[in-house]
């Protein structure tokens, strides 16, 4: 199964006990203020039809457990970076019970090939290597090719959220979080969190660090940038 096409590999994982299948992606920045959403409002309210001048904005980062349909959404007040994405994944792992963690043999993570988390983004890959070593479980990164990210399951969740709060004036953080928490995905409400951690942008690695990270990656020879397996240096 090591070098099967990604779609077949995903199908095989569904029938493999111990594989935790996740889908992850960040949504477009949410701007707060008295703005109409999708050109309409709920109720008799006045709203600006443009969001020019918005000074408060948040980046939603979502993670979906495909087997349980549990959705996790973290709204970050800083930039969309590799560190923000990996911190969101780390928080998900830390929120699992010891029993749930122990039942996982491998994490399979579907993502699009965005610049912050692509198969060649060295800062992201370095953080993923560190995470793998911390949790002691292998992580398989499966990427969707350009123009195909719409097939990533998390994208359907973003569509539901947008429909859910269209026409709502997201005046402040509490309103944004409340509306996000009140949506449902397959009848389940999401776990919603807020992150105010400030992330640096433009982080780069030295040549030595890049080589050290690359040495830890098992790339599918047929899909070098799209299918990457990372093993821990120690077993739990």
Return the H-helix or E-strand segment holding 193: strand 191-195
Q: What is the rounded CA–CA span in Å between residue 205 and residue 207?
A: 7
pTM score: 0.89
- First-to-last alpha carbon distance for the chain, in angstroms, is 23
Task: Give the CA radius of gyration of the chain.
Answer: 19
- The DSSP-derived string for 3-19 is TS-HHHHHHHHHTSTTE
CB hemisphere CA count around 60 (13 angstroms): 28
Q: Closest Cα partner for 203 from 85, 89, 92? A: 85
Topology annotation, domain 6-230 = Nucleotidyltransferase; domain 5 (3.30.420)
pLDDT digits (tens, 9 = 90+) for 131-178: 999 999 999 999 988 878 888 999 999 999 999 998 788 889 999 999
Q: What is the rounded CA–CA span in Å between residue 98 and residue 35?
A: 43
pLDDT digits (tens, 9 = 90+) for 71-90: 999 999 999 999 999 999 99
DSSP state of 179: H
Q: Binning pLDDT at 50, 70 and 90, where does residue 46 land?
A: low
Domain parsing of the chain, residue ranges: 6-230
């Amino acid at each position: 199964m090591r070098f099967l096409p990604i779609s077949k590999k995903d199908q095989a994982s569904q029938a493999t006990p111990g594989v935790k299948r996740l889908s992850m992606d960040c949504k477009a920045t949410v701007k707060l203020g008295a703005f109409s959403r999708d050109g309409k409002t709920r109720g008799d309210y006045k709203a600006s039809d443009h969001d020019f001048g918005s000074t408060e904005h948040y980046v939603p980062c979502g993670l979906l457990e495909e087997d349980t349909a549990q959705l996790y959404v973290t709204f970050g007040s800083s930039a969309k970076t590799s560190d923000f994405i990996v911190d969101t994944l780390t928080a998900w792992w830390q929120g699992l019970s010891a029993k749930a963690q122990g039942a996982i043999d491998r994490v399979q993570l579907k993502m699009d090939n965005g610049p912050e988390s692509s198969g060649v983004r060295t800062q992201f890959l370095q953080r993923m290597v560190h995470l793998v070593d911390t949790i002691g479980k292998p992580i398989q990164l499966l990427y969707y090719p350009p123009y195909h990210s719409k097939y990533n399951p998390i994208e359907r969740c973003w569509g539901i959220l947008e429909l859910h709060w269209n026409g709502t004036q997201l005046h402040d953080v509490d309103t944004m979080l409340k509306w996000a928490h009140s949506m449902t995905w397959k009848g389940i409400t999401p776990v919603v969190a807020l992150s105010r951690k400030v992330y640096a942008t433009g982080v780069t690695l030295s040549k030595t660090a890049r080589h050290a990270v690359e040495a830890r990656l098992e790339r599918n020879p047929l899909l070098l940038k799209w299918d990457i397996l990372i093993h821990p240096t120690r077993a739990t």
